[in-house]
Amino acid sequence: MSRLESMVVVVGNTLYSTNASVLILGMRCAADLAKCPLKAMNKSLPVIVQQILDIIRQTGNTESELVQVAFKSLGTVLRDGPPVQVKEKDLIYLIELLSPDLEEPTRQASVFALLRAIVARKFVVPEIYDLMAKVSEVAVTSQSPQVQELCRGVLLQFLLDYPQGKGRLQKQMGFFANNLSYIHESGRTSIMEILGAVIIKFQANLIQEYADMLFVALVMVIANDESAKCREMAAQLLKNLWTRVDEERQAILLSHLHSWISQTSKPLLTWVSVQVYGFIIDVAREDSSPYVSSILDNLKVCLERSASSMSTAEDLEENHQIDVELEWQLPYHALTVLSKILGVFSDFVKEDNKISWKLVVDHLLFPHAWVRTAASRLLGLFFNSMPVAAPQPDLPAEHPFSGVGMQTIARKFTQQLKSEHLDEALSVQIVKNLFYLGKCFYLVPIIDAAPIDEDAEDILDDEGGENVVNAHTQMGGDNLKGLNSPLPWLFSKLSYQIKSGHIARRSKAASKVTSLSNFPKIYNFLILTIFSLIGPNNLWLGSVGLLAWLRTWMQPGWSSSSSTSSRLCID
């Protein structure tokens, strides 16, 4: 290393050459020597820097290779070499020279190399703030991911290291918030990358000050952005923001959500607010206990509103033959947030005043598969936390563990099996839920099984299909031929659905109807679901119970085995 000491002066003298090639090589060597811990460099570096500046001035433009190499070399010297002072007029000249080339693809590498060095050395002149404002714009408008990344790195370092007056910082944060709705996805994601770093690295008092602005802007991204990537990034930023604000500011942000949820005229804002509740529960976990009760109250209001809309729509469709399209997002997100809350506060399941299970049951037949699945999974959480027990006669009829309540839930689960939107995830959850209900029904003594046998025979022997509806009304109306025998009712109903599904499938094939092209898939799900349910039940019915129900189960199995696809399902 000591042998390089003598090279410092030699290389410095090459910078006075009139040959461009010699100057280029000399500047590159000077930049490499500046990285070495040489004593001679401390004395020679100011002269080298000044000579590189003179080379840039003498060239007069930034298009030549000479100036591009000068920018890169000067950036390396300033960033990696010993500290050196640069005159204010020289800094101003450099900044004015760099600004037009920020968006020139062929010159951006050298421009940002020098700009990073200036910011790293914390050289302060008024013009640097104007230049960084332009860097902010390029970070959004550039279509090059590499350039956007360079801009973000320089901008973040500038925001963290340079003095920012209140007005200037407010303007910068407003720029970030406004450009979250920039027309191109690349620009929006670039801004959110910067905001992610800002939220994590800024001082807590600054985050508190701008939390409202950022919170509202990010919620609007989730509500309005068509890009799934942008919505996911905004959700993560909201979670990060929540962890950086104190309890007082959290209360203010929650008040915004409460206000938006109450605005029934703006359904989009309502369900997005519910979705944000879910993000808060995800990140706060047990720390959300001070405000989880108010969240539960708001979720109850949302589900009541959705249930009322369902009732109104059913009346219009029944009495006036008017098809009404219901908003599915609100109940779906409300049920999802309830599941998240129960995942954190599992004791809430056993507290009747925390969650209105009747509202959950009301949404089992909501005309959207996602809502049905969310409601089924939420009831699955409920069942998993409670021991198997017979229906309790002293509970109100709408309670899930009353006789009527269990029958209502079971009926709705069996109706879900008829849906053309039945998929594997939903069918598996239905199996789990009906399996639990079946074990509860098994604990109820069978008082009169003769009508059940008669119903099963009528349904299973009806090959023509004309009496299927009558049989369904006869055994299902679904009046349960009495709550006294819920397990026979459940098994007969499931057997009926296999039989009626098989008949309907044959009818579709015979008539060559193509409008329900996915009917075979639905039928296969139906067969697989019901036989999956019946199979586990065999384990706890015992030999006597198994023999009692063997005929009811075998007839639909025998009929469905006539087709190859169904036989595959049963296998």
List phi, psi (to 5°) of 476: -105, -45
Residue 512 forms part of a structural domain: yes
Q: What is the pLDDT of residue 376?
A: 93
Report the b/e string of 348-380 with b at 16+ CB within 10 A.
bbeeeebbbbbbbbbbbbbbbbbbbbbbbbbbb
Same domain? For 450 and 540 the reply is: yes
Q: Looking at the structure, do residues 464 and 361 belong to the same domain, yes or no?
A: no
- The reply to whether 252 falls in a domain is yes
Q: What's the token pair of residue 35?
A: 């990285």
Residue 275 maps to a domain: yes
Please tell me the distance from the alpha carbon of residue 275 to that of residue 269, in angstroms, as a whole number.
Answer: 10
Write out the two tokens for 475: 């055994």
Are 340 and 442 in a shared domain? no
- What's the pTM value of the predicted model, to 2 decimals? 0.81
The structural domain count of the chain equals 2
Whether 462 and 541 map to the same domain: the answer is: yes
Domain-located, residue 488: yes
Amino acid identity of residue 444, one-letter, is V
Question: 375 and 469, same structural domain?
Answer: no
For 287, left (φ over 0), alpha (ψ -120 to 50), or beta? alpha
Note down the domain range covering 376. 246-386
Kindly state whether residue 565 falls inside one of the protein's structural domains.
Answer: yes
pLDDT tens for each residue of 360-385: 999 999 988 899 999 999 999 999 98
Domain check: are 473 and 550 in the same one? yes
Q: Which residues of the chain have pLDDT under 50?
A: 450-482, 511-519, 558, 560, 564-571
Same domain, 350 and 460: no
Residues 447 and 506 in one domain: yes
Quote the CA–CA distance of 546 and 400 in Å, as a whole number: 27
Alpha carbons 351 and 30: distance in angstroms, whole number: 75
pLDDT of 534: 53
122 located within any domain:
no
Same domain? 463 vs 539: yes
User: Both 273 and 328 in a single domain?
Assistant: yes
Q: Which amino acid is at 152?
A: R
Longest dimension (CA), the chain: 112
Q: 420: closest CA among 372, 480, 454, 353?
A: 372
**Predicted pLDDT of residue 276:** 95
User: Among 332, 366, 386, which residue terminates a domain?
Assistant: 386
487 and 566, same domain (yes or no): yes
SS3 content of the chain, % helix, strand, coil (to 5): 75, 0, 25
In a domain, 8, yes or no: no
pLDDT digit string, tens, across residues 451-472: 444 444 444 333 333 333 333 3
Cα angle 284, 289, 293 (rounded to 5 degrees) comes to 120
Q: Are residues 538 and 438 in the same domain?
A: yes
CB count within 10 Å of CB 26 equals 25
Check residue 430 and give its pLDDT: 86
- Nearest CA to 39 among 80, 5, 85, 79? 5
Residue 149 in any domain: the answer is: no
